[in-house]
């Protein structure tokens, strides 16, 4: 999975602050997926984006969470007014095409801790 | 609603023996299944996959079996090596028009030397 970059790797926020998580996909990949892993659980799908478009956001909480994948630059997952329950590992994956499942390459994740 | 389940949180085997990791699913619309391996502080790494039109796929020491009637798949690792010690996730896809994956909770495999 070389090439998928996520930063920061660790992020600490106090309740009520904003968290911004960045994902730079593998060069040439135009599809990005965000997943969240709560402690002792598997990864849960949040959102699927192509360049400048949200394709599937069925896993995104209705409030406080948003994602974008601009024409230039990394994909951003933004969490406003964080709460302790947002503490988790957030992984992004990229792929060169959609619907080719075994071509999703995962980044190392951002571990968010909300105090 | 846990559509993909790995009921064994952990598994310990001796080096050289077979490791069998199990996964059950409930959604008959899933048509593609994958296994990922994950080390601490790293992202999941794709291991092996299988399409629903097959019942077996093999890649070196790793074999995945799919039993559609039972909605069950398993990953066999033979022979197991200490470097295989990691968390293994099964994932399913195909229930929608996007590439999203539905993951199980994971099984921690420990291979003892």
Q: What is the mean pLDDT of chain A?
A: 92
Find all residues with CB under 8 Å of B11, minimum gap 6, and list them.
Answer: B19, B20, B21, B107, B108, B109, B110
pLDDT at A1: 45
pLDDT at A74 over 90: yes
* A28 confidence band (pLDDT: 50, 70, 90): confident
DSSP code at position A80: -
B36 contact residues in A (CB cutoff 8 A): 106
Q: A33-60, pLDDT tens digit by residue?
A: 999 999 888 899 999 999 889 999 999 9
pLDDT average, residue stretch A89-94: 96
Question: Does the beta carbon of A10 lie under 8 angstroms from any beta carbon of chain B?
Answer: no
Which two three-digit tokens encode residue A103?
A: 């071509």
Greater pLDDT, A28 or B23: B23
Interface touch B43/A56, C-beta < 8 Å: no
pLDDT at A105 over 70: yes
* Nearest Cβ partner for B89 among A4, A33, A42: A42
Q: B69-84, pLDDT tens digit by residue?
A: 999 999 999 999 999 9
- The DSSP line for A33-63 is EEEEE-TTS-EEEEEEEETTEEEE-TTS-SS
pLDDT at B110 over 90: yes
pLDDT at A2: 56
pLDDT at A97 over 80: no
Greater pLDDT, B2 or A50: A50
Residues of B with CB under 8 A from a CB of A: 4, 6, 32, 34, 36, 41-46, 49, 89, 91, 93, 96-106
| CB of B43 closer than 8 Å to CB of A107 | yes
What's the gap in Å between the CA of B97 and the closest CA on chain A? 8
d(CA A67, CA A42): 21
Q: B22-51, pLDDT tens digit by residue?
A: 999 999 989 899 999 999 989 999 999 999
How far the first Cα of chain B sits from its last, in Å, is 38
């Amino acid at each position: 999975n070389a090439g998928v970059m996520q930063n920061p790797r660790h992020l600490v926020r106090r309740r009520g602050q904003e968290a911004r998580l960045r994902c730079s996909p593998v060069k040439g990949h135009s599809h990005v997926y965000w997943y969240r892993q709560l402690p002792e659980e598997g990864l849960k799908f949040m959102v699927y984006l192509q360049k400048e478009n949200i394709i599937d956001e069925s896993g995104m909480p209705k409030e406080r969470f948003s994602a974008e994948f601009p024409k230039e630059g990394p994909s951003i997952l933004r969490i406003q007014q964080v709460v302790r329950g947002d503490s988790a590992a957030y992984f992004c994956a990229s792929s060169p095409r959609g619907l080719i499942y075994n071509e999703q390459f995962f980044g190392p994740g951002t571990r968010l801790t909300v105090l | 609603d846990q559509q993909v389940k790995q009921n064994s949180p952990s598994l310990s085997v001796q080096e050289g023996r077979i490791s069998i990791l199990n996964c059950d699913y409930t959604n008959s619309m899933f048509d593609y299944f994958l296994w990922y391996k994950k080390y601490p502080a790293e992202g999941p790494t794709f291991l092996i996959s299988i399409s629903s039109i097959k019942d077996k796929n093999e890649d070196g020491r790793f074999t995945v079996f799919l039993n559609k009637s039972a909605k069950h798949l398993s990953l066999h690792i033979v022979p197991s090596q200490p470097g295989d010690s990691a968390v293994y996730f099964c994932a399913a896809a195909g229930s929608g028009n996007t590439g999203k994956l539905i993951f199980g909770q994971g099984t921690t495999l420990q291979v003892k030397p």
